[in-house]
Structure 1
Amino acid sequence: MPYGLVVLVEYLGVVETVSGEGRFVVKAESTPNVNDQIFNEKGTTIGIVKRIFGPVEGPYVTVSSQNGPVSGDLIGKKVFFRGESKHGKDKRRH
């Protein structure tokens, strides 16, 4: 990582369910964007956000695994996403 580069990682939530299709669902406490990378507690990329659904106050996030089928061991694990930068050209525009 280049000197001076700060990567913000935000807590997403806990994995609720897994599917046999290489996807899992997270009960989100923060809302990522579609295609944001998802990380485990060790900082390893484990998937990409594919869909955000449910109520605004407590959305769910469908994540597509980067490693194929998802193990049931993932249920109950905390996951994280790279947060947005709030400075200059890195601001998100809606």
Structure 2
Amino acid sequence: MRRLGQVVRTAQGLAIVRSPGEEHPDLGTEAVDESLRTVGRVVDVFGPVERPYLAVSPDEGTRLAALVGSKLYAR
């Protein structure tokens, strides 16, 4: 598994994740939390090339507010 980054905030029903570097996953990549529970999928990449932001669309039943501050990983 590869680290996606840390959830920095929520916006318009998406979790906004700050990537640790310039490499990022493909759109549609499954995002999991530290306990390997699927929380959503990457739907957009934006921002600076050096450390882009990833927009993660949550799966049904995932509470966005609970994700803020947590680390997500690509499965």
Interval of TM-score (by shorter of Structure 1 and Structure 2): 0.7 to 0.9
Counting only pairs closer than 5 Å after superposition, residues 58-73 of structure 1 correspond to structure 2 as 58-68=51-61, 70-73=63-66
Please report how far the alpha carbon of residue 69 of structure 1 lies from its aligned counterpart in structure 2 after TM superposition: 6.2
In structure 2, the residue matched to 1:15 is: 7
| TM-score, structure 2 normalization | 0.86
| Larger Rg belongs to | 1
Shift of the 39–12 alpha-carbon distance from structure 1 to 2, 3 Å rule, reads same
What is the Cα-based RMSD across aligned positions, in Å?
A: 1.6
Match of 2:31 in 1: 38
CA contact (8 A) 1:13 1:26 kept: yes
Match of 1:28 in 2: 19
Q: 1 or 2, which has the higher strand percentage?
A: 2
Identity %: 32
Higher relative contact order (CA 8 A, sep 6+): 2
Instruction: Give the gaps of 5 or more residues in structure 2.
Output: none
The answer as to 2:45 corresponding to 1:81 is no
| Matched letter for residue 16 of structure 1 | V
Q: Provide the aligned length of Structure 1 versus Structure 2.
A: 73
Q: AA paired with 1:18?
A: T
TM-score normalised according to structure 1 size = 0.70
The residue aligned with 1:53 is: 46
How far does residue 70 in structure 1 lie from its aligned partner after superposition? 3.3
